[in-house]
Structure 1
Amino acid sequence: MGGAGPVEAVAFDYGGVLTTPVADSLALWRATSRIDPQSFTDCLRAWLGREAEPDSPVHELETGKLDAAGFEQALAARLRRTDGSRPEPAGMLADMFAGLHPDQEMWDLTDELRARGVRVAILSNSWANTYPDRLYDGRFDPVVISGQVGLRKPAADIYRLLCTRLGLPPERVAFVDDARPNVEGARRAGLHGLLHRDAATTRDALLSVIESGAPVGPTTSHPSKEPRA
């Protein structure tokens, strides 16, 4: 196996890692759609929290068991606007993530890693997201999307699938995500897990683990518990 050091491949989450923070996009959507913040927080806690049922609408959306329209209907039924009315479900998911934009420093980091001989991959929990064409332009290999494989982070099986597709043991793979549970899941599966905060911090931590192979310890995360794409 080739590579620049003990870690031969780095897998990145997409939303909130290769893009601007998901929480910022959701805040914009809540403001423009006049969504009551507490109703959204309560819904996320029930569907995405550590005690969420395994068949919650979020889990089923991320694994492809529930389509976008079905999820939007379920979500709209749980939310209210600031005037007490229910939001319109159609197009809600697109609106929620419309404020995401590429983080160019992170894309530059993927180029830097490849120049060092380190492979780069994607491991993303999808909320029926539309990914940019350049995600599939040959830069990332493999691209593992939860809804396409029927598995979701932080379940161990999706990290094993990533490593199988890379053809590498988990100790040769680093994983970057902005959600702590997903990083913890990667570490339990034997990967080097890194909690993303910003491009500069992530770059320093990745180069350190690539050069030393030492496990990455906890780092500061965004305080938000918003969904991660």
Structure 2
Amino acid sequence: MRTTPPGTRGAVLFDFGGVLTTSVLAAFEQLGSDLGCDPRLPLRLLAGDRASGALLVAHEEGRIGELQFEQGFAERLRAHGVDIDPARPGIVRRIQSALEPDRAMVDLVARVRAAGYRVGLLSNSLGDDCYAGFDLPAMFDAVTISAEVGVRKPARRAYEIACERLGVRPQDAVMVDDLQQNITAAERAGLAGIVHTHAPATAAALKSVLDPRAQREGPGTPEPTG
């Protein structure tokens, strides 16, 4: 993994699901439990079944909508023995119902921004209304959503677009994401990376890597809480 010198970055990109919310991976496992199958089956299909993975990529890149993704994925689940109605599967709604805002991380975003750093969102979208309840334009200086720009993490171009919208170079930014593969890709694109597990650890990591000289006028660098 790339080693980032301490105190050298001036902007932060945050992921959404699993960072500003509770775990998406846990929500997929809950979906499997609700469907009465191996809780790991939905994630296993998305990671290892070519047809399922292609559906997810097409949906996250905005080439198919929520219903088309759900119907296709329901067929893949049925092919693996899951009793689910392919016409009205409700998969995305079930996943979203298992997610809750992580208030400590929402607060951390606000504190980092108040400290004078530019903050942006870079998110692979799942569902046609997956950001309900979050006022993203009020929270962030720039918002980059995969379905709107037609490219998803871990593609290098996704990080480049997010940095362009934020008005910073990749070499000046930090990516906070709950998935190691997305952090590895961010580091290859020139960003620093923080694998998010919980708010206090992420706050401490950001305090280490952010450059105090990059602050706009604000109350100071974010302090770990929790």
Q: With the length of structure 2 as denominator, give the TM-score of the two structures.
A: 0.81
Deviations 1:105-132 (A, max 9, x none): 1111112111210121100001125203
Q: How many corresponding residue pairs?
A: 204
* Match of residue 88 from structure 1: 85
Answer yes or no: is the 8 Å Cα contact 2:143–2:165 preserved in 1: no
Structure 1 outlier segments of 4+, above 4 Å? none
Who is 1:123 aligned against? Answer: 122
Partner of 1:74: 72
SS at match of 1:197: coil
Alignment correspondent of 1:23:
25
Q: Distance in 2 between matches of 1:67 and 1:199?
A: 32
Q: Does 1:65 align with 2:63?
A: yes
For residue 174 of structure 1, give the secondary structure of its aligned residue in structure 2: strand
Amino acid at match of 2:84: P
Instruction: Quote the Cα distance in structure 1 between the aligned partners of 2:123 and 2:177.
Output: 9
Residues 31 and 42 in structure 2, CA contact (< 8 A), matched pair in contact too? no
Task: Report the CA distance shift for 1:36/1:60 in structure 2 as closer, same or farther (over 3 A).
Answer: same
Residue type of the alignment partner of 2:117: V
Q: Structure 1 residues 85, 125: CA separation in 2 closer, same or farther (over 3 Å shift)?
A: closer
Note if contact 1:12-1:122 (Cα within 8 Å) is conserved in structure 2: yes
The corresponding residue for 2:159 is: 159
**Percentage of matched positions with identical amino acids:** 38
Quote the residue 1:222 is aligned against.
Answer: none
1:88 Cα shift?
2.0
**Cα deviation, residue 133, structure 1:** 4.4
Structure 1 alignment gaps of length 5 or more? 214-229
For residues 85 and 110 of structure 1, the distance between their equivalents in structure 2, rounded to whole angstroms, comes to 39
For 1:13-52, list aligned pairs within 5 A.
13-37=15-39, 39-47=41-49
- Show the counterpart of 1:208: 208
Q: For residues 207 and 185 of structure 1, what CA distance do their matches in structure 2 show?
A: 22
- After superposition, the CA RMSD in angstroms is 2.5
| Residue pair 1:26, 1:97 contacting (<8 A) in 2 also | no
